[in-house]
Amino acid sequence: MSCYRNGIKCMLLLFFMGLAALNTYSYWRDSLNVNTLNTSMHPEVIVEQSPSTTPFQCPFESWNQVHSDIVPNENLHLEWIQNNISRRDNILESQIRLLSSFVYPDHISIITNSQRSYGQKVYCRYFNCLREEISNSSYQSIFFPMNVIRCPRRIGVKYMSISFDSEEIPQEPIPLVYRVFEVFNMNEYSRKIIDEYLRTGEIELTVIQSEYKTIDWQFHLLQINECHQRSKHHSKWVINVDIDERLVILDDKIKSVGSLLSGYNNTVAEVGFAIRRIQKTEKLPEKYESDEQIISEMEFLKYNVSSPVSWGAYKTIYRPEKIAAMYYHWAYQRYPDTVAEYVKSEIALFRHYRSTEKNILGSGWLTDPNYKNFSIVSEETKLAEKLKENVLKKIKYVYDPRVLYCEEIAEIPYEEYKEFGHDIFNCTFRNETGSNKSAD
């Protein structure tokens, strides 16, 4: 839905993958936020100047008074591990770096960057607000799925780490957070639009500092697992799609993806959607030049050569608590007593504006029998018009800065300008420009 609403992401950020989460299920987050406002998640620790007999006490937080002895479903996970369910080892010599850690009512998840640790033994290590290890707290756990470690809860824990034996000095702990956007590689120009979405609160960001100079597409699975764990007890549904895909609701009676999903009862763990692949024959422009350029480059206006509807690489919207392990597009393993449902393609589907470039991952699909019977399927006009306006507005807000005219400078600073010279204001006189075109 995020992609659907914010077409700009589809326009500009093709080179990394985004996973969007619906914020409709926020009881856990809300209860945490209340506490967070009261006692900060990162309390300022005031170091006393003079020696004192009363040591600093970490704040008491009602949400953080939970101790549990077990990890939910651990036996089931062990059974799946024995059968290699969802196993996909890779990058066999990588370091094991900590990415993030999330707290839920009955457990904690730690997410790492390791694609090679499936089923391995590992110790959860717990730290208080001063990053001091909580005594007698460590727990022997296991990696499942791929890069995820689950740990029981401990009272007062604020930072988590791991070690491979219980005596070893653990890695530098990372904060426990409760709150999607994941970034591996991005240039400064693209980062500007990410910052804009952060500003408006439409996304959250996880920056993955990789040890490698380059990464390949399979690192995507690390991110899928991170998004999955991040969303548990926070978002009721997670849309597991890439930035070049857009959900389209074709049935007029259904007003939003929310109302579509609310039709499914609590046993439904994932909802599958068919795909139409639309040929995206050119690259997006590197930079904003003009409104005309952006309008002519908007994918949903520019491209309309579509494959037939396909279930070949269908995509899902899923309930994070009900899924044990995700694969690229769908759940590899659901927890027991759940079902998957599939939406009829006449009701809704994803349009995938897929590159036709040669020699890239998944190239050659133009001649694939599943896709090759192409036809023209145009975008629904009303939606396209609205999306066009919103995309343009957002792009211009971020990428269309204007010239600073010296005439805008008020009298007093202007006096300083005269004293210190042109450079300190870096402005342009109207009579020097000839036009008002932006400099960049």
Ligand X SMILES: *[C@@H]1O[C@H](CO)[C@@H](O)[C@H](O)[C@H]1NC(C)=O
Q: Which residues contact ligand X (rule: CB under 6 A)?
A: 38, 83-84, 87, 136, 265, 267-268, 302, 304, 339, 341, 373, 375-376, 378, 423, 426, 429, 431-432, 435-436
Least Cβ distance, residue 132 to ligand X (angstroms): 16
Length of the chain: 440
Residue number with CB closer to ligand X (26 or 35): 35
Q: Label residues 198-222 b or e (16+ Cβ within 10 Å = b).
A: eeeeebbebebebeeeebeeebbbb
Give the C-alpha separation, 304 to 377, whole Å: 5
| Closest CB to ligand X among residues 300, 350 | 300
**Measured in whole angstroms, how far is the alpha carbon of residue 382 from the centre of its chain?**
29
**Min dist. Cβ of residue 149 to ligand X (A):** 18
Q: How far is the CB of 224 from ligand X (least distance, A)?
A: 20
Instruction: State the nearest-atom distance from the C-beta of 50 to ligand X, in Å.
Output: 29
* CB distance 186 to 194 below 8 Å: yes
Residue (50 or 373) nearer to ligand X, CB? 373
Min. distance of Cβ 427 from ligand X in angstroms?
9
Of 34 and 207, which has the nearer Cβ to ligand X?
34
198 versus 248: smaller Cβ distance to ligand X? 248
Q: Give Cα 188 to chain centroid, integer Å.
A: 18
Q: HEC profile for 128-196?
A: CCCCCECCCCCEEEEECCCCEEEECCCCCCCEEEEECCCCCCCCCCEEEECCCCEECCCCHHHHHHHHH
What is the DSSP track for 204-235? --EE---SSSS--GGGHHHHHHHHHHHHTTT-
Contact by Cβ (8 Å): 247, 5: no
Nearer of residues 27 and 429 to ligand X, judged by Cβ: 429
Beta-carbon count within 10 A of 343 CB: 23
Pick between residue 183 and residue 383 the one whose CB is nearest to ligand X: 383
Q: How far is the CB of 43 from ligand X (least distance, A)?
A: 13
Q: How far is the CB of 296 from ligand X (least distance, A)?
A: 9
Q: Which is nearer to ligand X, 92 or 169 (CB)?
A: 92
In sequence order, what are the residues at sequence separation of 6 or more whose Cβ sits closer than 8 angstroms to the Cβ of residue 427? Answer: 404, 405, 406, 408, 409, 417
Tokens standing for residue 296: 């002519």
Query: Which residue, 115 or 206, has its beta carbon nearer to ligand X?
Result: 115
Using Cβ positions, the residue closest to ligand X within the complex turns out to be 378
State in angstroms the smallest separation of the CB of 358 from ligand X: 21
CB distance 241 to 19 below 8 Å:
yes
Q: In the complex, what is the shortest distance from the CB of residue 49 to ligand X, in angstroms, rounded to a whole number?
A: 27
Question: Measured from the CB atom, is 230 or 319 closer to ligand X?
Answer: 319
Q: How far is CA 147 from CA 28, 162, 364, 387, in A?
A: 24, 12, 31, 37
For residues 300 and 28, give the distance between their C-alpha atoms in angstroms, rounded to a whole number: 37
Q: How far is the CB of 22 from ligand X (least distance, A)?
A: 19
Neighbours of 310 (CB within 10 A): 18
